[in-house]
Amino acid sequence: MEAVQKDHWYFVVLIFLPFLKVAVQQKEPVTVSLEEGMILECLCPWNGNLSMVSWTKLPDKNPVAIFHPEYGKVFSHQYRERIEFLRTTPMDGSISMSNVTHQDIGLYHCSVQTFPQGPWTRSIQVEDLDEPPEDVDITEPPTPEVIKTDTELVTELNNNLTISCNHEHNGTIYQVILEKMPHGHPWDIIGVCKEVENGLVSEDYSDRGRVSCTDTLDVSLHLTGVVPEDSGFYRCTFSTDAGVQTTTVVLTVNPPGRRTRERSTESNCTHLIDSTSSHHIP
């Protein structure tokens, strides 16, 4: 009987060992000095199959980057062209960051989804330990971004509204990224829907509404009691076996009493967006 109990205890320890490792990793964040080309290390200590790696920046859990071994990489707007996944080993979720500024200081959280052991996480605090790097030179105004909208939405203040991206399913969709661009601000990822080994994964980063995903990877944003800050551009990027396709919706919020409408812009209404505030982080 004693031998059976001992074997049972060993089995329980083996089951909970991965979760004990996670708790230890979360106890004290690792500190990294803010510097050009800095590496945020996130190397899962055990073997297995990697399902996905996601990086967020706390305390608001703003998305930074996502890696999927089959469907590739996704970066939030302010990190595009600046972050690289190192991938030195199959279980490596580490990233390097270039063109760093003071806005990159903060607490980062790395989550590695693995099978069969489960998730492993790590937190890294980026601090200005030495002389701060120079900010990006913005003396010359950047070229305005040209945005072609597919649908225009106009609603009244305090209304409820659902924003959906109309997409012709002419291929198999693997992933959809929903982004928002408030007027005068850069694009921000607010939702991700994707197919993984274990089924559908839905990630909601919106602080105003609720992002929904269907089994066919149709994505929508449900807003309750719209406010002026909800106005702006919303973009869906579809990754399919036929290539990458996007649809864009522009939302205008009017005071009560003005007529609302939804109009499909067949000729693609073109908007010029000044990106001088591209260094803003919500």
In the chain, helix, strand, coil percent, each to 5? 10, 50, 40
Rg (CA), the chain: 22
CATH architecture type of domain 145-273: Sandwich (2.60)
Q: Residue 239's pLDDT band (boundaries 50, 70, 90)?
A: confident
The pair of structure tokens assigned to 95 is 């990233």
Mean pLDDT of the chain, nearest integer: 76
Q: Residue 207's pLDDT band (boundaries 50, 70, 90)?
A: confident
pTM of structure? 0.50
Distance CA 193, CA 251 (A): 22
70 has a pLDDT exceeding 50: yes
Place of tokens 């992933």: 175
* Spatial contact of 189 and 74, defined as CB atoms under 8 Å apart: yes
Q: What is the pLDDT of residue 170?
A: 66
Q: What is the pLDDT of residue 107?
A: 93
pLDDT digits (tens, 9 = 90+) for 86-122: 999 999 999 999 988 888 999 999 999 988 888 999 9
39 has a pLDDT exceeding 70: yes
pLDDT above 90 covers what percent of the chain? 29
Q: Residue 258's pLDDT band (boundaries 50, 70, 90)?
A: low
pLDDT digits (tens, 9 = 90+) for 176-191: 888 888 766 777 888 8
In the DSSP assignment, the letter for residue 185 is: S
Distance CA 113, CA 111 (A): 6
pLDDT above 70 covers what percent of the chain? 72
Q: What is the pLDDT of residue 272?
A: 45
Higher pLDDT, 279 or 265: 265
Cis peptide before 59 (omega within 30 of 0): yes
- CATH no. of 2-127: 2.60.40.10
Least confident residue range of 93-97, 112-116, 155-159, 268-272: 268-272
Distance CA 59, CA 38 (A): 21
Domain boundaries, the chain: 2-127, 145-273
Q: Residue 28's pLDDT band (boundaries 50, 70, 90)?
A: confident
Strand-pair partners of 148: 270
The set of long-range contacts for 259-265, using a CB threshold of 8 Å and a minimum separation of 24, is: 259/154, 260/154, 260/155, 260/156, 260/159, 261/152, 261/153, 261/154, 262/151, 262/152, 262/153, 262/154, 263/151, 263/152, 264/150, 264/151, 264/166, 265/149, 265/150, 265/151, 265/152
